[in-house]
C-alpha cells in the first residue's frame, strides 16, 4: 500500500464522516432554518475533503478537473439555494413579513 492510497482513504473517511454528521443534523433538527444550516454545511468542508482525495488519486487529469468543477459549483451555488429556500420558508411561516 502506497502512502498516497492511505491519504486517499483517510480523506474519504473524513469526508464521508462529515457528510454523515450533516445528514444527522438535518434529521435531528426541528426547525427549517436549523435544517438549512446543516444542509449548507454539507457542501463546505466534506466536499473539499472528497475533492482532495480525488486530486491525490487522479492529479490534474480529466477526472481531477471534473471534481474541481463539481466542488466549485457546489460551493458557489449552494448559498443562493439556501437563501432562496430560507426566504420561501419565512414567507410561508410569516406571510406578512417583508423580505
pLDDT tens by residue, 4-17:
889 999 999 999 99
Does residue 31 sit within a domain? yes
As a residue count, the chain comes to 99
Domain region containing 17 = 3-93
Condensed to tens digits (0 to 9), the pLDDT of residues 65-86 reads: 999 999 999 989 999 999 999 9
Condensed to tens digits (0 to 9), the pLDDT of residues 27-77 reads: 999 999 999 999 999 888 899 999 999 999 988 889 899 999 999 999 899
As a whole-number percent, the residues of the chain with pLDDT over 90 amount to 69
Which residues does 59 contact at the CB level (< 8 Å), separation at least 6?
none
Does residue 75 sit within a domain? yes
Helix (H, G, I), strand (E, B) or coil at 61: coil
Residue 81 sits at φ, ψ, to 5 deg, of -65, -40
Per the structure, how many domains does the chain have? 1
Amino acid at each position: 500500500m502506497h502512502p498516497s492510497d492511505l491519504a486517499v482513504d483517510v480523506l474519504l473517511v473524513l469526508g464521508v464522516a462529515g457528510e454523515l454528521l450533516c445528514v444527522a443534523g438535518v434529521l435531528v433538527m426541528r426547525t427549517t432554518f436549523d435544517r438549512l444550516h446543516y444542509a449548507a454545511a454539507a457542501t463546505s468542508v466534506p466536499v473539499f475533503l472528497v475533492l482532495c482525495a480525488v486530486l491525490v488519486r487522479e492529479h490534474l487529469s480529466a477526472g481531477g478537473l471534473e471534481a474541481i468543477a463539481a466542488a466549485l459549483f457546489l460551493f458557489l451555488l449552494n448559498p443562493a439555494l439556501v437563501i432562496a429556500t430560507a426566504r420561501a420558508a419565512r414567507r410561508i411561516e410569516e406571510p406578512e413579513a417583508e423580505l
